[in-house]
Chain A
Amino acid sequence: MKILNKSKLEEVLNRLGENADVYVPMSKGLQSGFYPWKSLEGGKDELMLDALNVYQPPKSVVFPQTERMYSLYQEGKGLKIEETYENDEPRVIFGARACDIKGIICMDEVFLTGGYEESFYKARRESTTIVANACYEPGPSCFCAAMGVDPLNPEGADVIIRDTGDAYIWEALTEKGEALSSTIKDLLEEKELSVPEAKPFIQQVDYDGVAEKLKGMFEHPIWDRTSEACLNCGICTYICPSCYCFDIQVKMYGHEGYRFRCWDSCMYEEYTREAGGGNPRPTGRERFRNRFLHKLEFFTERYGHPLCTGCGRCIVVCPAGINITSIISEAKEADLDA
């Protein structure tokens, strides 16, 4: 098998960086997320490949928080599109966990299937190669397996690396993965190593039948109580590896300007505000309910799996201590006649 000795990791990342923007899990002060390898400042920032995960998922590599779509100018009564900004520069996401890659697969389904392809997402996505870091030791808030994710064999990976201590086992799975491997083939070694032993999950979640059951729970009292502590901030949606809601707006300066796309959150009142002033989700309860029904019911109905990948980030970041695994178990146990 091919292996990548950890002593050669920096060299590998530098090499990959010659032809692409390489995003790696990194801490920057108290921040952590997928940041460009080139931005690593020695003595200040640290590579976090050996941590369970980082705070901000790699979602923004393929779906940036703000993305300029095209610039335009007004000509008489019409508008002329000056330039479109589809970005297909090569990039590599290095060391993502299965849960985070599943988030990208969810976005693929939304943006690239169903008879319509979203060209801005497509350009970024197709130029991205994913190196997955297989996960053998789930953290206390991890529950990816319960959501149909295989942490040991991440779906959607072009290459999988497996941490054996001093070296990673390197497995290329796709053409993109092979292409990446060929650029560093002099840095890989041939050696037999045994794969680490997978540790059991600490967090137990039973999602079986929940999507089906939630169909009958739109007006269930469970939402009155579970939503009470929620502040309706957008942390959970913005830090989520699979939340993909966005808004499209225009900025004009006189006769010229540009159109851009930016993340939006179903937690905000403005999100569902209608032009006439009405709002189908007027209070926090309806917004809270929508978030969980979208994750656990609607998406599963449409795509066959939930929009939650079990990464546990929303549990870690929520200022009000809301826990999606508790919502799943409450839904599971709820009395439908209540």
Chain B
Amino acid sequence: MNDFTQQIQDIASRLLDNGQVDVFIAWHKGQQDFQVQPYFARSADEAQNIIFNDYSIHNLSNSLLKFRDSKEKIGIVVKGCDSRGIIRLLEDNQIQRERLYIVGICCPGMKDPLQAMRDELGFNHKPESTELAAKCNDCIQPNPVIYDELLGTEQSPRVQDRFARVKEIEAMSADERYQFFEETISRCIRCYACREVCVACDCRTCIFDEMRPQWVGRENNTTDNLMYHIVKASHMAGRCIECGECERVCPVNIPLMLLNQKVIKDVNELFGPYEAGMQYVEGQKPPFSMYEESDPDDFL
């Protein structure tokens, strides 16, 4: 990992020095080792603050949205899953390929800084930290799918049974399922961290922020919370790149990837085979951004 730190620092210094990029997005260290924070280096000097360690888990591709209206050229570090986010943004015309210098890292799996924070800072009764972050055990794509420079050696996917959790829920009776979702989703505090951290959420005005009309009520109750999550999950159809950030950052442990994976599974079965952001082909659109005669319409 220290190896990556040095290599990324060198690349960032070079690019910032020769003016190939205006800003380089990576990580720097906070107060504790596990407190790693997204970092925006703007000079070769600042590039020396960059680190890459076990906790550099954040999907930085989401940060590109901050630059969608600027002309700045951007260097960025991505792991396998994060790189799929860049493809999503390119497909949605949120950023231009020629503005990016992508440093890809073949990802050995990360640890979750939020888990470590809760464990180390006294907010947990029993330690919850695991060897790898939960989302990394479900990894289907550890190697970057788009890059200008690649670091590390190719890694194998870690997922055992990709839709295991979805199948468990599908096997429940309708009542059991309702009870399950009522219980988990009533916990939601509507902080919208799952939306803000999501690279697939690139709408300029989100449906949940609209006031005229107000599509989803602001009360924190099962009805409005369910509405929020059902609408959000449907909007992810064909767009979720399975980086798992939504579920990781959720402060109340809602299994958000369960919903997203159900939608991924359905899109795959109905409109597939399809995997969001796996391969960049100019002009390519996700299934729900276009229409084909052969699209299933049995439900109409």
Contacts and interface: CB of A to CB of B under 8 A. Distances in A.
B166 interface: no
Interface stretch (B93-101, B248-256, B267-275): B248-256
B123 A316 contact: yes
A300 interface: no
B71 to A, nearest CB: 17
A140 interface: yes
A134 to B, nearest CB: 16
Contact of B121 (A65, A229, A232, A312): A312
Contacts of A140: 32, 120-122
Given A31-B187, A229-B38, A315-B121, A235 B193 contact: yes
Contacts of B36: 321
A140 B197 CA distance: 26
Contacts of B40: 225, 228-229
A312 B221 CA distance: 28
A36 to B, nearest CB: 15
B260 to A, nearest CB: 17
A231 B251 contact: no
B187 A238 contact: no
Interface residues of A, number: 53
Contacts of B129: none
Contact of A316 (B66, B117, B218): B117
Interface in B237-256: 245, 248-249, 251-253
Contacts of B220: 65-66, 262-263
Contacts, number: 133
Given A66-B219, A66-B220, A320-B37, A234 B193 contact: yes
A28 to B, nearest CB: 9
Contacts of A270: 209, 211
Interface stretch (A2-10, A49-57, A111-119): A49-57
A247 interface: yes
B122 A319 contact: no
Given A31-B253, A229-B37, A317-B114, A53 B123 contact: yes
Tell me whether chain A's interface is mostly helix, strand or loop, or mixed: loop
B3 interface: no
Contacts of B39: 228-229
B123 A251 contact: no
Contacts of A1: none
Given A52-B123, A139-B122, A320-B38, A233 B113 contact: no
B217 interface: yes
Contacts of B248: 319
Interface in A236-287: 237-239, 247, 249, 251, 260, 262-263, 265, 268-270, 273, 284
Nearest to B39: A229
A51 B191 CA distance: 25
B120 to A, nearest CB: 6
A104 interface: no
B18 to A, nearest CB: 23
B196 to A, nearest CB: 4
Contacts of B114: 316-317, 319
Nearest to B46: A225
Contact of B191 (A251, A265, A269, A273): A265
Contacts of B117: 141, 315-317
A249 B218 contact: yes
Contacts of B252: 31
A294 to B, nearest CB: 18
Contacts of A141: 117, 121-122
B158 interface: no
B219 A262 contact: yes
B172 interface: no
Interface string B180-216: 0000000101111101110000000000010100000
Interface of A: 27, 29-32, 46, 48, 51-55, 65-66, 139-142, 225, 228-229, 231-235, 237-239, 247, 249, 251, 260, 262-263, 265, 268-270, 273, 284, 312-313, 315-317, 319-323, 325-326
7 contacts: A140-B32, A228-B38, A231-B197, A233-B192, A238-B189, A316-B117, A317-B251
Nearest 7 interchain pairs by C-beta: A52-B122, A321-B37, A139-B122, A233-B193, A319-B249, A233-B196, A231-B196
Given A234-B191, A322-B37, 9 more contacts: A53-B122, A231-B193, A231-B197, A249-B218, A260-B219, A319-B248, A321-B35, A323-B31, A325-B31
